[in-house]
Amino acid sequence: MSAALRNDDPGAAIMARLDALAGFTDEPGRVTRLFLSPSHRRSVDWLLDWMREAGMAAFLDDVGNVRGRYEGATPGAPALLIGSHIDTVRDAGRYDGTLGVALGVAVVAELKRRGERLPFAIEVIGFGDEEGVRFPTTLAGSRAIAGGFDPTTLAACDPDGVSLDKALRDFGCDPARIGGLAMTRQAALAYVEAHIEQGPVLERNAAPLGVVTAINGATRFRGTLEGEAGHAGTVPMAIRRDALAGAAEIILGVEARAAREADLVATVGRIEAAPGAINVIPGAAHFTLDIRAPDDAQRRAAVADIEALCAATAKRRGLKLEMTRSHDAPAVVCDPRLVAALAESVAREGHAPLRLPSGAGHDAMAMAALCPSAMLFVRCKGGISHNPAESITAADAGAAFAALIDFVRHFDPERFIDEA
Ligand code: GLV
Ligand code: MN
Ligand code: MN
């Protein structure tokens, strides 16, 4: 039986959709779906088809988001936005981002199946760029909808030298129109995102679902150290300017600084040495840096210390350092009314509504600048994410679906209309 017909088991139907989506990948044998890549294109077409089948008017917008709208009882009414992202990290799992998009479409499909129209519209969004893996432009899609897209990022290039501007055009988008994608507060009642937890808290509490109270702030850098390449056999240790050894010292310094404080985390997730040969002293090292904390003052202090330690290490080793800040997002507190409403829905579905903060970043961070925003977390096995071993159960996907349907049915647009 096709996934679309399995109304008896919505969790299993959602899992089947997610398995299909995992088939769109840039790397055979792994799930890697980078922003504006060929596999992103195929997933866009697949999602547009599913949204239309679910009763939505759907289109690809000019920043690469997939948008589907299910009208309420009165066409043109303000919308409850439900979304997450369809881009992935490299060698990803199959649920990060995609689960929230699939749940949104499944909820609308269920409303359509029952012939229900609500006193508000629902817009489901599959954001194109949440991970920030290909370009240094994390949250480009949600920022555009929330009116916070920075047009200077169009000049940013991927590691192959392709600019975001060119990649968008090649994808069929018009970057000149991105400014016009910003929704008004009048049109957007609220934003709700379901997502796998990506941590172990729900599993440890035997809770399938959780309601997010706040999302950690994050700062990201791309760094380059330049030293001097040379012969690995002839240049004495004392006069080397080894860029990779400098980067290694920085990595350990970053780790030690973050370890000093609870809740603060810092990661060098990517490093490359150039020219990159067994018998050549590395003349350059390129690295990424990602620093997060629930408290903005705590994060800013850590960022300042880490910038200082990078500069001091480079100076002492005779290296030239360049650091570019590619992302800076404050911590976001979820809307208390939405948190309460989601908790009530979780409880009505028979689960303890555990409340927890999010260490991972999400499109909800950007959307919170537009309208009241909140998140529903779904338990994942071992808390593992950004890893092909990412795993959830069909039963938990079904629980999230039931809680979201309940939330949507109880959502009172009057409480969220034009309160700004
Ligand atoms: C997104 O997954 C992030 O938190 O980096
Ligand atoms: Mn995600
Ligand atoms: Mn992710």
CA distance linking residue 141 with residue 143, whole number of Å: 5
359 Cα nearest atom in ligand 1: 4
Q: What is the pLDDT of residue 263?
A: 86
386 Cα nearest atom in ligand 1: 2
Question: Best mutation site among 130, 265, 365 for ligand 1, i.e. most ligand atoms within 8 A of its Cβ?
Answer: 130
Helix, strand, or coil (residue 168) = helix
Query: In Å, what is the CA distance from 306 to each residue of 13, 246, 319, 381?
Result: 46, 14, 16, 33
Q: Which two tokens stand for residue 413?
A: 């647009």
State the first-to-last Cα distance of the chain, in angstroms, to the nearest integer. 47
Q: Tell me the residue ranges of DSSP E strands in 179-335.
A: 188-196, 209-215, 217-226, 230-231, 265-267, 271-274, 280-281, 284-293, 320-329, 332-333
Which residue's CA is minimally distant from atom 3 of ligand 1?
Answer: 361
> Are the CB atoms for 280 and 229 separated by under 8 Å?
yes
What values do phi and psi take at 188, rounded to 5? -115, 105
Q: How many CB atoms lie within 10 A of CB 220?
A: 21
Q: What is the pLDDT of residue 6?
A: 52
73 Cα: distance to centroid of ligand 3 (angstroms):
35
Angle at 79 between CA 73 and CA 83, to 5 degrees: 125
198 Cα nearest atom in ligand 1: 2
Q: What digits encode the pLDDT tens for the residues 207-218?
A: 999 999 999 999
Rg (CA), the chain: 22
Cβ contacts of residue 29 below 8 Å, gap of 6+? none
The stretches in the chain having pLDDT less than 70 are: 1-7, 418-420
360 lines ligand 1 (CB under 6 A): yes
385 Cα nearest atom in ligand 1: 2
According to DSSP, the β-strands at 320-329 and 217-226 are: antiparallel
248 Cα: distance to centroid of ligand 3 (angstroms):
25
Nearest C-alpha neighbor of 220 from the set 256, 266, 259: 266
CA distance linking residue 275 with residue 264, whole number of Å: 34
Tell me which architecture the domain covering 217-329 has in CATH.
2-Layer Sandwich (3.30)
**Relative orientation angle of helices 394-410 and 336-348, to the nearest 10 degrees:** 120
87 Cα: distance to centroid of ligand 2 (angstroms):
8
131 lines ligand 1 (CB under 6 A): yes
CA distance linking residue 69 with residue 47, whole number of Å: 13
Nearest C-alpha neighbor of 101 from the set 33, 43, 187, 180: 43
Residue with tokens 């040969």: 277
361 lines ligand 1 (CB under 6 A): yes
Q: What is the pLDDT of residue 1?
A: 41
Q: Hey, which CATH number is domain 10-215+331-417, 1.20.210.10, 3.40.50.920, 3.20.20.210, 3.40.630.10?
A: 3.40.630.10
What residues are paired with 358 via a beta bridge?
A: 215
317 Cα: distance to centroid of ligand 1 (angstroms):
33
Show me where the domains of the chain are located.
10-215+331-417, 217-329
291 Cα: distance to centroid of ligand 2 (angstroms):
17
Query: In Å, what is the CA distance from 123 to each residue of 21, 182, 253, 405?
Result: 20, 14, 45, 14
Q: What is the pLDDT of residue 136?
A: 87
362 Cα: distance to centroid of ligand 2 (angstroms):
6
Query: In Å, what is the CA distance from 246 to each residue of 228, 260, 268?
Result: 12, 22, 13
> pTM of the prediction?
0.88
87 lines ligand 1 (CB under 6 A): no
User: Helix H segments across 349-393?
Assistant: 363-367
290 Cα nearest atom in ligand 1: 5
Q: What is the pLDDT of residue 2?
A: 45
Nearest C-alpha neighbor of 120 from the set 186, 208, 219: 186
Q: How many CB atoms lie within 10 A of CB 389?
A: 10
- Ion ligand 2: residues, CB within 5 A, are 96-97
226 lines ligand 1 (CB under 6 A): no
Q: Which two tokens stand for residue 201?
A: 């808290």
Cis peptide before 413 (omega within 30 of 0): no
132 Cα: distance to centroid of ligand 1 (angstroms):
8
400 Cα: distance to centroid of ligand 1 (angstroms):
21
Cβ contacts of residue 190 below 8 Å, gap of 6+? 80, 81, 335, 338, 371, 372, 373, 374, 411, 416
Q: What is the pLDDT of residue 7?
A: 64
Q: What is the pLDDT of residue 419?
A: 57
Question: Best mutation site among 34, 127, 131, 216 for ligand 1, i.e. most ligand atoms within 8 A of its Cβ?
Answer: 131
